[in-house]
A and B are shown apart, each in its own frame.
Chain A
Amino acid sequence: MNNSEKIFQDKIDREIKIEPKDWMPEQYRKTLIRQMSQHAHSEIVGMLPEGDWITRAPSLKRKAILIAKVQDEAGHGLYLYSGTETLNITREEMIDQLLTGKAKYSSIFNYPTLTWADIGAIGWLVDGAAIMNQIPLCRCSYGPYARAMIRICKEESFHQRQGFEILLTLSRGTDAQRNMAQDAINRWWWPSIMMFGPNDDASPHSAQSIAWKIKRFSNDELRQKFIDMCADQIKILGFTLPDDKLKWNKERNHYDFGEINWDEFWNVVNGNGPCNKERIAARIKAHEDGAWVREAAAAYAEKRKLKSQKAA
């Protein structure tokens, strides 16, 4: 290890944050660019499945709440894009990587929202899983990422409560409403626990991320914590999780759970999920349709600058 690397690792070991202009190993920079930009892409693409229900929310209050949540996700994407730019990559490059498929986003957003109850399931399970992952990230070694995560976590808990409250309301409704809620949970449960990534022994990059304190807990640790939490919370709803192997194990002091279908996970990650093509097509369309706005704003700013220079 040369001197710069020693100083860098020493900061990491002593919980001193790494800031943008500090020396860092090239692989640290690359790993963070990949993780932070993909996190940002996930927020932006994540607006689409819920955005789909804004016009169909069952009441004005629910519509206003859903709009606020989707706006929050846009803001989270922006915090993360800004944070990533501190590592010397431009916004244009990152958007290009997303739209050409070079960069990924969380595969959970490749599933469709089929009913209003899906909005509840997403808030409770998907935002819940995101929170479980994001709280440790508030202490990650890279300053801008940690600070963005603190901002995001403050806003995220409303999302999860909103989702649970939707399901709670449905659970107290008609048989049709209860069935709709249970069906949504059945479809979103397994994809949500896949959000924590592959098993630890199938995750080769985890060891380096943990040594560099980008990752503070392993995939399996966080996944177990999430399952334990949801298995308790669902009792209040009076619904079930679609896992007949789910059972409290008093020796482990955790819930045992069934086998995850990793084939499905990799299939969706690799582009064959139900909505992959639709999500990217929507993002490409938004980018292309918005080009005239970007050009017009730049032209107008240039015109005003010249005008004020002439006047001076």
Chain B
Amino acid sequence: MNNEWPLWEIFIRSKQGLDHKHAGSLHAADAQMAIENARDVYTRRMEGVSIWVVESKYIRASNPDDASSLYDPANDKAYRHPTFYNLPDELKHM
């Protein structure tokens, strides 16, 4: 039997209205322990109202080398940005 506790990634919502942010990782034997450990390590000074824990092995990530090709198409579609449009100064509320 493997005695090593798996690695978990921790996401914390610091305040109602904000989204969960990645805070770091920790080792725990199961999800309940992961949440308790996350509370102890990552919310020591009341920095959280909600904790998500995910075993690191379940995270799927994009390849950083693909970053430019992931974002290139967006970069040459300037018409998606408000500043692309030249409108008269007298026009209000837009």
Contact = CB atoms under 8 A, between A and B. Distances in A.
Interface of A: 19, 21-23, 71-72, 75, 78-79, 82-83, 85-86, 90-92, 144, 147-148, 155, 294-295, 297-302, 304-305
Contacts of B64: 19, 21-23
Interface of B: 1-5, 7, 24-27, 29-30, 33, 40-41, 44-45, 61, 63-65
Contacts of A297: 5, 29-30, 33
A298 B4 contact: yes
Nearest to A74: B41
Interface on chain A toward B: helix, strand, loop, or mixed SS? helix
14 contacts: A19-B64, A21-B61, A21-B64, A22-B64, A72-B44, A78-B41, A82-B26, A85-B25, A147-B24, A148-B24, A295-B3, A298-B1, A298-B4, A301-B33
Interface centre among A86, A297, A304 (most CB of B within 10 A): A297
A298 B2 contact: yes
A75 B41 contact: yes
Contacts of A148: 24
Nearest to B65: A23
B41 A79 contact: yes
A22 B65 CA distance: 7
Given A23-B64, A75-B44, A297-B30, 12 more contacts: A71-B44, A78-B26, A79-B24, A83-B24, A155-B44, A294-B5, A295-B3, A298-B4, A299-B1, A301-B29, A301-B30, A305-B30
Given A78-B41, A85-B7, A148-B24, A298 B65 contact: no
Contacts of B2: 298
Contacts of A86: 25
B24 A298 contact: no
A156 B29 CA distance: 30
A82 to B, nearest CB: 4
B3 A91 contact: no
A298 B25 contact: no
Of B5, B7, B25, B26, chain A has the most CB atoms within 10 Å of the CB of B25
B3, B24, B25 — which one has the most chain A CB atoms within 10 A of its CB? B24
A75 B25 CA distance: 12
List 4 A-B pairs, minimum CB-CB distance, nearest first.
A297-B29, A301-B30, A301-B29, A82-B25
B3, B5, B65: residue with the most chain A Cβ atoms closer than 10 Å: B3
Contacts of B4: 90, 92, 298
Nearest to B7: A85
B69 to A, nearest CB: 14
Contact of A298 (B5, B40, B41, B61): B5
Contacts of B1: 298-299, 302
Given A21-B64, A75-B44, A298 B27 contact: no
Nearest to A300: B29
Contact of B3 (A19, A22, A298): A298
Contacts of B5: 294, 297-298
Nearest to A18: B64
A300 B64 CA distance: 38
Contacts of A91: 27
Nearest to A297: B29
A305 B30 CA distance: 9
Nearest to A7: B65
Contacts of B44: 71-72, 75, 155
Contacts of B26: 78, 82
A155 B30 contact: no
Given A83-B24, A295-B3, A304 B30 contact: yes
